């Protein structure tokens, strides 16, 4: 064997010894094998697809949530509108009930007032009926010669609380009206109380009528001497005013009933109706 061949064999033996000493060649890691070449591309595509699926799912869920949220908003809006409508309806109904209650209260008050007025009017009619009946009985007794004229009111006169009243149906100036009453052994009416005021007003009605009150000779005086200052008064607001603007000359010196029963001073020459009064136990001259 030649020397060259021996050297080559010796080198081979040394390499084999080195290889035995080093051990088998290291294997590549699993990660490197997976991340190398086509595997890496497939993994990337898979992750991308998975991410896409996740995004789609999240988007779908978000869309559903948005729809549910919108539905909730619409439901809440409808509920709010319905509640507001019901509240307004209840409020209107409450207002209507309140107005109806006030209307009923007003009607009840008016009915009570009407009943009270009707009651007063009925009592007045009853008193007048009793008075007329007594006067008629008295007149019959006089005609039969069994009674005294001094206890009866004259024919066509109205008996009330011990006095006799006559109500005209035509008009005269105040002085002529007072003279007419004097010829009947009476005088123009002297109003001494609210009850007498209502009695006269009931018979006079809504017509201007003279009463026995004048200030022609100074301060206001009743024709029968009754004290004016301490007595009953029923002047209308701002009366008496002794107005000179009527164009008839002078002021206003005679008192009369107005349409509503209040007193007013006026020119004594106006032709108004009048009321005469006399005491029932006085001689009527008839």
Whole-number average pLDDT of the chain: 81
pLDDT band at 260 (very low <50, low <70, confident <90, very high): very high
Domain that holds residue 210: 151-282
Residue 262 sits at the vertex; the CA angle it makes with 209 and 214, to the nearest 5 degrees, is 60
Whether residue 169 is predicted with pLDDT greater than 90 in this model: the reply is: yes
Whether residue 136 is predicted with pLDDT greater than 80 in this model: the reply is: no
- pLDDT tens per residue across span 3-42: 666 666 666 666 666 655 555 555 555 555 555 566 767 7
- Number of domains observed in the structure of the chain: 1
Whether residue 178 is predicted with pLDDT greater than 90 in this model: the reply is: yes
- For residue 118, CA distances in Å to 106, 107, 126, 189, 205 come to 18, 16, 12, 26, 16
The whole-number average pLDDT for the span 275-279 is 95
Residue 195 lies in a domain: yes
Q: With CA atoms as reference, report the closest residue to 181 among 162, 198, 199, 163.
A: 163
Whether residue 250 is predicted with pLDDT greater than 50 in this model: the reply is: yes
pLDDT over 70, % of the chain: 73
Torsion sign (Cα): 184, 286, 197, 162? positive
pLDDT band at 134 (very low <50, low <70, confident <90, very high): low
Integer Cα distance of 256 and 209 in angstroms: 5
- Rounded to 5 degrees, φ, ψ at 267 are -65, 130
- Rounded to 5 degrees, φ, ψ at 21 are -70, -40
Query: Hey, what are 108's tokens?
Result: 């009840």
- pLDDT tens per residue across span 104-122: 888 888 888 777 777 766 7
Residue 271 lies in a domain: yes
* CATH number of 214's domain: 3.10.100.10
């Amino acid at each position: 064997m030649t020397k060259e061949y021996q050297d080559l064999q010796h080198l081979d033996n040394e390499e084999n010894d080195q290889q035995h000493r080093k051990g088998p060649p290291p294997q590549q890691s699993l990660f490197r094998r997976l991340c190398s070449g086509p595997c890496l591309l497939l993994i990337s595509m898979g992750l991308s697809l998975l991410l896409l699926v996740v995004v789609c799912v999240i988007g779908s869920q978000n869309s559903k949530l948005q729809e549910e949220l919108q539905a909730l908003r619409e439901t809440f809006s409808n509920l709010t509108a319905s509640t507001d409508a019901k509240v307004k309806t209840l409020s209107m109904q409450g207002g209507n009930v309140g107005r109806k209650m006030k209307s009923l209260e007003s009607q009840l008050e008016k009915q009570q007032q009407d009943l009270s007025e009707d009651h007063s009017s009925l009592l007045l009619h009853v008193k007048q009926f009793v008075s007329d009946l007594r006067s008629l009985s008295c007149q019959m007794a006089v005609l039969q010669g069994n009674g005294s004229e001094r206890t009866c009111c004259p024919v066509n006169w109205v008996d009330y609380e011990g006095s006799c009243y006559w109500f005209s149906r035509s008009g005269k100036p105040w002085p002529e009206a007072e003279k007419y009453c004097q010829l009947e052994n009476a005088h123009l009416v002297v109003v001494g109380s609210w009850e007498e005021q209502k009695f006269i007003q009931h018979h006079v009605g809504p017509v201007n009528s003279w009463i026995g009150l004048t200030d022609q000779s100074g301060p206001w005086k009743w024709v029968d001497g009754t004290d004016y200052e301490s007595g009953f008064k029923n002047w209308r607001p701002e009366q008496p005013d002794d107005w000179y603007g009527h164009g008839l000359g002078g002021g206003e010196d005679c008192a009369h009933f107005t349409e509503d029963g209040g007193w007013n001073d006026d020119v004594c020459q106006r032709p108004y109706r009048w009321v005469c009064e006399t005491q029932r136990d006085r001689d009527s001259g008839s």
